[in-house]
Homo-oligomer: A and B are copies of this chain.
Amino acid sequence: MTNTELPIDVETEVRAAEERARPHLLTTPVVPSVGLTVEIGSPVVLKCDNLQHTGSFKARGALSKVLALSSGELERGIITASTGNHGAAVAHAARIVGAEALVVVPDNANPSKLAMIERLGARLHVHGSDSVETEAAARELAEERGMAYISPYNDPRIIGGQGTLGLELLEQVDSLAAVYVAVGGGGLASGVAGIIKSLSPSTRVIGCSPAASAVMYHSLEAGEILDLPSEPTLSDGTAGGVEPGAITFDILARVLDDFVTVEEDDIRQAFLDLIEMEHMLVEGSAAMAYAAARAHAVGVEGTTTVILCGGNVGTDKLREILDA
């Protein structure tokens, strides 16, 4: 496998994103996993992007993208559709470059997540009641007003930005044997697996999704992007469909070594164990990757890494999971 077979040259995108975005990114810590190291029988570490700016890896891609826009584009402002981490990341990136950001949100979005997006300086535009409707509205507004639309994953700059996490990991962890990475639209996994497979081909990269919403998993199995329904999941950060024509599909088809799906009970247990044993508060998508490693990883030479992709859980959601 070489990057030339991929729809984009991931390594080049990641290196360019690193160049643009590094001054604004945190090199997030890698800490040993007490629980998984014992359970699996070889060293396991947690890559804590829950401690990245805005509380998730999404800041990487958003900064990479926004910093690549022309001054004319920045002047007209940027727009996206999101109820969560991507919206906050775009708001954060826009503030850094001094651009206006408009985030289209559905009418049933979580008020505390909306407050965070507003606190970061973006304007909210309420439209529709699911991500398909809000995304369509955002794209339409972008076209009408000549504003740059920031896709959550289907964009080489976004994928390059997310891949900066992989570059950090290769510097931080000696003898990186395996990496577990959450997959929703596949932006993080494409960037991370793409750069790791370029620079350290023997490292295994394993995608993980909740069984309740594993559209990329089923699409990869089928060999084409499927339009499938999703059930509710604690891993809400990875929930939802995959856009027709998404370049992440073609990348992941080539760079992932394996793919694990995880049941809700196992995600909840991982969430609780992360609190009790690892002293780490994460959102469902990060607990999902931890649960996937627990079910799938075996003792190896070298270090296994679980990416904790986000920490935006909020006290309401936290209460809900604790009381479930």
Contacts and interface: CB of A to CB of B under 8 A. Distances in A.
Interface of A: 26, 28-29, 31-32, 34, 48, 50-51, 53, 55, 112, 272, 275-276, 279-281, 311-315, 318-319, 322-323
A315 B281 contact: no
Nearest to A120: B34
B276 A311 contact: no
Contact of A281 (B29, B31, B48, B281): B281
Contacts of A53: 32, 34
B322 A279 contact: no
Given A319-B322, A322-B318, A279 B26 contact: no
Given A32-B26, A281-B280, A322-B319, A275 B51 contact: no
Contacts of A32: 26, 53
A49 B318 CA distance: 23
B315 A272 contact: yes
A195 B291 CA distance: 41
A51 B312 contact: no
A171 to B, nearest CB: 15
Contacts of A112: 276
Q: What copy number does this chain have within its complex?
A: 2
B281 A312 contact: no
15 contacts: A26-B31, A26-B32, A28-B29, A29-B29, A32-B53, A272-B315, A275-B281, A275-B314, A275-B315, A275-B318, A279-B311, A279-B312, A279-B313, A280-B281, A318-B318
Contacts of A280: 51, 281, 311
Contacts of A55: 279
Contacts of A281: 275, 279-281
Nearest to A283: B279
A234 to B, nearest CB: 15
A17 to B, nearest CB: 21
Given A319-B323, A323-B319, A276 B31 contact: no
Contacts of A48: 29
Contacts of A28: 29
B276 A314 contact: yes
A16 to B, nearest CB: 25
Contacts of A313: 275, 279
A312 B277 CA distance: 8
A257 to B, nearest CB: 29
B26 A51 contact: no
Ranked 5 nearest A-B pairs via Cβ: A279-B311, A281-B281, A29-B29, A55-B279, A319-B322
A275 B50 CA distance: 11
Given A29-B29, A32-B26, A50 B279 contact: yes
Nearest to A51: B31
Nearest to A272: B315
B311 A322 contact: no
A314 B274 CA distance: 10
A322 B28 CA distance: 28
A19 B55 CA distance: 35
